[in-house]
Amino acid sequence: MRLAILGSGFISRFYADSLVAQRRKDIIVSVYSRQEANAKKFAADYNVPHYTTSIKECVEHKEVDAVIVGLSNDMHLEAVLASAAARKHVLCTKPLGRTASEALQMLQAVEKANVVGGYLEDLCYTPKFLKSLAAVKNGSIGEVIWTKSRETHPGPHSDWFWDKEKSGGGAMIDLGCHCVEISRNFIGKNIRPEAVMCWADTRVHPIDAEDNAIGLVRYENGAIGQFEVSWTFRGGMDLRDEVMGTEGTIWANNFLRTGFEMFTTGKGEQYVAEKAETNAGWLFPVGDEVHELGYSHMFTDMFDAIDKKNEPAETFYDGYIVNAILDAAYKSAASKQWEPVQITDWRGKAIAISSKKITSYDDQYYLIKEEVLPSGEKKFIIKHKITGSIERR
């Protein structure tokens, strides 16, 4: 795959590192940046033969097969429309748009151009996530009834994130997009999100957008997807997921406390990990950030989809649904009420909502709970099927 990268900053360098380090047969042939000096440096660092300050020139380069968008949120629409107009496959970083309206325009553009629109949601490609999702899909934890996804850190690296107009919001649009899509995967993408209840506030930073938020997303089958996001968490980047099902539970710590710990007095001044606040004391390095954050699996999936002319696991449609959920979250944060998720183009399959699973103890009683006491004796909590009385046996 011959690639153009739009953007020369933090995320574009992460993308380039994963491309250089993994498949290797894919090459970057052009890079765009608003600042010529930045484009030139990126080109030199990654041996890219062409650089430019024009998005149109970059995506229309004759050798480019696919475009990777690593720009600020306010530039995604322009970049995707330009790529679709040039009939180039386009892979866009999260969130797809600042709003569902922007995301829908991008989705419609790539579908009209008949090109692949890949949603670069890296946290849906981490090794732990992929293994967890496989366990959920094979029924290991039964029906998923509640998910929790948390991303917190001391705040983003670039100035535009802190500008509500450019970013489309604050911590919720930046981090909540990850959490929402993680939950959608575990609960099931065919299950429609119905409504959101959200609290958001600006607790620390002198900005117009929120720097903390907690939300509940209710799905049509009764499942709840919970997200917790913050730009004020101290101590690094905390990425954790929990999935609770009728037959089991999954806990995944993806970044901060993964079993790799190191103490140092700080003399080395080495890079520790993304969003690490110090290089002294007890540190939590990450062995291979590109791999652990999902970039390797993500690009392999995206390029394989282009090669095979099918859809990747994360598409522009997924990005649109995430934006629609976040639109409802922002409305709820303002209204302090449950707000419906407005989706004008729902493509989920019709599903049969399963009835609640009830286990019988015998002909007269339902079984509520069974446990073994320290003495070795078994205890049963049961409910009479007619009277509703609860007893212990």
Question: What is the three-class DSSP state of 137?
Answer: helix
Name residues whose C-beta falls within 8 Å of residue 108's C-beta, 6 or more positions apart in sequence: none
* Beta-strand relationship, 144-152 and 224-230: parallel
Question: What is the three-class DSSP state of 75?
Answer: helix
In a domain, 184, yes or no: yes
Distance of CA 320 to CAs 73, 103, 342, Å?
A: 14, 5, 11
Q: Which domain holds residue 377?
A: 359-392
Quick: pLDDT tens for 16-43.
Answer: 988 876 556 889 999 999 999 999 999 9
Query: Does 74 share its domain with 209?
Result: no
- What pLDDT, on the 0 to 100 scale, is given for residue 42? 97
- What pLDDT, on the 0 to 100 scale, is given for residue 23? 54
Q: Which parts of the chain fold into alpha helices (H)?
A: 10-21, 36-45, 55-59, 76-85, 100-113, 127-137, 164-167, 171, 177-187, 289-292, 295-308, 316-335
Number of compact structural domains in the chain:
3
AA letter at 283: L
Please state, as a whole number, how many other Cβ atoms lie within 10 Å of the Cβ of residue 347: 10
Summarize the chain as % helix, strand, coil (round to 5). Answer: 35, 25, 40
Query: Does 212 share its domain with 277?
Result: yes
CB-based burial label for 281 (10 Å; 0-12, 13-18, 19+): exposed
Average pLDDT, the chain: 93
Query: Does 322 share its domain with 247?
Result: yes
pTM equals: 0.91
**pLDDT over threshold 90, residue 254:** no
Name residues whose C-beta falls within 8 Å of residue 387's C-beta, 6 or more positions apart in sequence: none
In a domain, 347, yes or no: no
* Dist. CA 249–CA 232, nearest whole Å: 29
- What pLDDT, on the 0 to 100 scale, is given for residue 57? 97
Query: Does 171 share its domain with 81?
Result: no
AA letter at 16: A
Number of H helices and E strands in the chain, helices first, is 12, 19
* Beta-strand relationship, 281-283 and 238-245: unpaired
Query: Does 89 share its domain with 129?
Result: no
Name residues whose C-beta falls within 8 Å of residue 307's C-beta, 6 or more positions apart in sequence: 1
Tokens found for residue 176:
């909540």
Query: Does 365 share its domain with 230?
Result: no
- Per-residue confidence band for 257, with pLDDT thresholds at 50, 70 and 90: confident
* Dist. CA 313–CA 121, nearest whole Å: 10
Query: Does 73 share its domain with 220?
Result: no
- What pLDDT, on the 0 to 100 scale, is given for residue 261? 79
Query: Does 73 share its domain with 190?
Result: no
Query: Does 366 share its domain with 304?
Result: no
